Amino acid sequence: MLQTFTSTARPEQGPPRLAALRAQMRHMGLAGYIVPRSDVHQGEYVAARDERLSWLTGFTGSAGFCIVLQDKAGVFIDGRYRTQVKNQVAAEFTPVPWPDVKPGPWILEHTHGEIGFDPWLHTQDEISQLRDAGVTLRAVENLVDMIWDDQPAPPKGRAFLHPDALAGQTSAEKRQMVAKGLKGKAVILTLPDSICWLLNVRGSDIPRVPLLHAFAILHDDARLDLFADPAKIPEDVLDHLGPQVSLHPNTVFADMLRRLRGPVQLDPASAPVALRLALEEEGTKILGIEDPCRLPKACKTPAEIEGMRQAHLRDGAAVVEFLAWLDARAPEGQLTEIAVVKALEAFRRADDSLHDLSFDTICGAGPNGAMMHYRVTEDTDRPVRMDELLLVDSGGQYPDGTTDITRTMAVGDPGELARECYTRVLQGLINLSRVRWPKGLAGRDLDPIARFPLWVDGRDFNHGTGHGVGAFLSVHEGPQRINSISTVPLEPGMILSNEPGYYREGEFGIRLENLIVVEPAPQGPDDREQLRFETITFAPFDRRLIDVTRLSQDERDWLNAYHAQVAEKLSDRLSAPALEWLRLATAPL
């Protein structure tokens, strides 16, 4: 599906929709109502039917929620979206910096009345935190759905097979492995990426992310009940699933829950609270335990890692073709952000193995680059002007891997400040790429390493340094992350992004991103078990933006070695003009 550039919502549509929602709240005797971005599966990416937050407020970011009171409507957004939200919501909505401001205290500051919520769109953890803060809650039907007259239909995308050879394990092997940990329990799986990974299938319910919307119950003997629209499951997928997997329509999911005698394992951080309420009504014993698929899914098999390497080589060639094209065309002064996005997508689609983009390309020229997850539309499309920075964050979905790469480029001469900041960001990426650490450390332990070069200049960035990445699944995957709060130990096979950045509102944005794989490090002198990263993304950094005098010799050596790898791995895959461009772009510093 080609990327489109029409906005799904406009600020002027917010006030009348907000008024309609408040009228519905008054009708139900509610002082407030919570509108999250999530769907019933608690995924980051949602179908058009579930874009309730965007429909109500105009805010199109991938994370956030709105708490609507009778006289106030707070749009809670994290550091990635604090610039973007100002341009997308009407004055009737108040941006609230989250998690700096917690929703519970914010609600109690403005009302002590009853707050409604849809129990299918919130997890147990979310609701418990609000109740612990003293908020009075009532589970209700979805109020937005009641007033959204032209709400899209649920997605009907068909499932398809993910080959065992690319997965590195059969579905039966995975189910047996996970079932061993159940020991007399059943587990309810609600995350589509967990279910797709477990069954070696993929789906078409979400743009850019090959997910099948489904629920599942895995039993301790490795039998699995799958709940999905039967029309989505073709015969070859049914044959692949085998006799131990029983397909049921979604309509019988509630009845099957009532038949479970427990104990039942449920993830309080990802399962909708509606499931817990249904089980409690039957007196079923519930064990709050993390989704057992998340960690094994995060630790990729050798086959998945090799697939990711190969996908990144093909993707890297497309990116280099694009960068060569951009360098030739940008000085002409005729490009806009949309033209850049279309060109990059065309270079990727020239490879027949591309399944889709892994997300809508982020392309921010000049001040638009300061909006970390900016998505260009026909209304915001900006010319690519001389003497500015251009930030492009993009990726592809290939059957053997998922890519995610960010490069920031100079168009003309953006000035000394831009070079200084770019160099600091690059130093952070290099630091994280080179680090070795004792096994057992988590993302929060490594996060400062990427920020240190910025910190010494009194600068920082308001997003995590790295997120987990799936293998032909979600480009954002947990539980592994590199940020200040992640306590999940990094383990061999985990794939993460390495993406420090720096942003000056109204001026420019800089972000540089490679994907990295956790692997064992060679044995050191103290017999300590250590880990390190393998970089699997290959595309040059903009030499025009590097202040070489700021680099240490080790940093310069790493960069020269990396650029030599880029040239070695990609040269045979390029057109003659791109090959000549790459020769200059990867010349030693």
* 380-419 pLDDT per residue, tens: 899 999 999 999 999 999 999 999 999 999 999 999 999 9
What is the per-residue pLDDT across 50-62, written as a single tens digit (0 to 9) for each? Answer: 999 989 988 887 7
The length of the chain in residues reads 589
Quick one: DSSP state of residue 122? S
Q: What's the one-letter identity of residue 444?
A: R
Q: For residue 165, how many other CB atoms are within 10 A of its CB?
A: 9
Q: How far apart are CA 322 and CA 478, in angstroms?
A: 30
Please state whether 467 falls in left (phi above 0), alpha (psi between -120 and 50) or beta.
beta
Q: What's the one-letter identity of residue 124?
A: Q
Q: Range with the lowest mean pLDDT among 76-85, 368-377, 404-413, 543-552?
A: 76-85
Provide φ and ψ at 26, rounded to 5°: -65, -40
What is the per-residue pLDDT across 66-108, written as a single tens digit (0 to 9) for each? Answer: 999 999 988 888 877 777 888 788 778 888 888 888 999 999 9
Q: How far apart are CA 369 and CA 389, in angstroms?
A: 8
Which residues, including other chains, have CB under 8 Å from residue 26's CB and lie 6 or more apart? Answer: 70
The two three-digit tokens of residue 480, written as one number: 């592994």
Q: What is the pLDDT of residue 585?
A: 98
pTM for the model stands at 0.93
How large is the average pLDDT for residues 521-539? 93
How large is the average pLDDT for residues 460-476? 96
SS3 content of the chain, % helix, strand, coil (to 5): 40, 20, 40
How large is the average pLDDT for residues 486-509? 97
Quick one: DSSP state of residue 40? T
Q: What is the pLDDT of residue 7?
A: 63
Q: For 530-574, give the secondary structure using H, E and C.
A: EEEEEECCCCCCCHHHCCHHHCCHHHHHHHHHHHHHHHHHHHHHC
What is the per-residue pLDDT across 10-21, written as a single tens digit (0 to 9) for each? Answer: 777 878 888 999
Q: What is the pLDDT of residue 400?
A: 98
Q: What is the pLDDT of residue 321?
A: 98
Q: How confident is the model at residue 9 (pLDDT cuts 50, 70, 90)?
A: low
The two three-digit tokens of residue 414, written as one number: 């953006």
pLDDT at 489 over 70: yes
User: Which residues on neighbouring strands pair with residue 160, listed in sequence order?
Assistant: 202
Q: In what order do the strands lie in the sheet with 388-394?
A: 362-365, 388-394, 405-411
User: Which of 85, 61, 79 minimizes the C-alpha distance to 11?
Assistant: 85
pLDDT at 341 over 80: yes
Q: What is the pLDDT of residue 2?
A: 83
Mean pLDDT of the chain: 94
**Is the distance from CB of 423 to CB of 546 less than 8 angstroms?**
yes
Which residues, including other chains, have CB under 8 Å from residue 558's CB and lie 6 or more apart? Answer: 430, 433, 434
Tell me which of 75 and 503 has the higher pLDDT.
503
Q: What's the one-letter identity of residue 126?
A: E
- The proportion of the chain whose per-residue pLDDT surpasses 70, expressed as a percent, equals 99
Q: How far apart are CA 397 and CA 151, in angstroms?
A: 28
What is the per-residue pLDDT across 163-209, written as a single tens digit (0 to 9) for each? Answer: 999 999 999 999 999 999 998 899 999 999 999 999 999 999 999 99
User: Which residues on neighbouring strands pair with residue 299, listed in sequence order?
Assistant: none
Q: Could you give the count of Cα atoms lying within 13 Å of 446 in the half-sphere of its Cβ?
A: 37
pLDDT at 467 over 80: yes
Walk me through the domains of the chain, giving residue ranges and CATH numbers: 11-147 (3.40.350.10), 160-293 (3.40.350.10), 299-585 (3.90.230.10)
Which residues, including other chains, have CB under 8 Å from residue 513's CB and lie 6 or more apart? Answer: 393, 404, 405, 406, 407, 429, 497, 498, 499, 537
3-state secondary structure of 301: coil
Cis peptide preceding 263, ω within 30 of 0: yes
The two three-digit tokens of residue 499, written as one number: 């993406």
Q: How far apart are CA 228 and CA 488, in angstroms?
A: 31
In 122-182 the beta strands, taken as DSSP E runs, fall at 137-139, 160-161
Q: Where are the alpha helices (DSSP H) in 403-552?
A: 416-434, 443-455
What is the per-residue pLDDT across 96-146, written as a single tens digit (0 to 9) for each? Answer: 888 888 999 999 999 889 999 999 999 999 999 999 999 999 999 999 999
Q: How confident is the model at residue 8 (pLDDT cuts 50, 70, 90)?
A: low
Quick one: DSSP state of residue 361? P
- The proportion of the chain whose per-residue pLDDT surpasses 90, expressed as a percent, equals 84
Q: How far apart are CA 119 and CA 40, in angstroms?
A: 9
Q: How far apart are CA 378 and CA 360, in angstroms?
A: 14
Q: How far apart are CA 357 and CA 398, in angstroms?
A: 9
How large is the average pLDDT for residues 306-316? 98
Identify the top-confidence range among 39-43, 248-252, 563-567. 563-567
Q: Cα separations (Å) of 270 from 42, 273, 464? A: 6, 9, 20
pLDDT at 521 over 70: yes
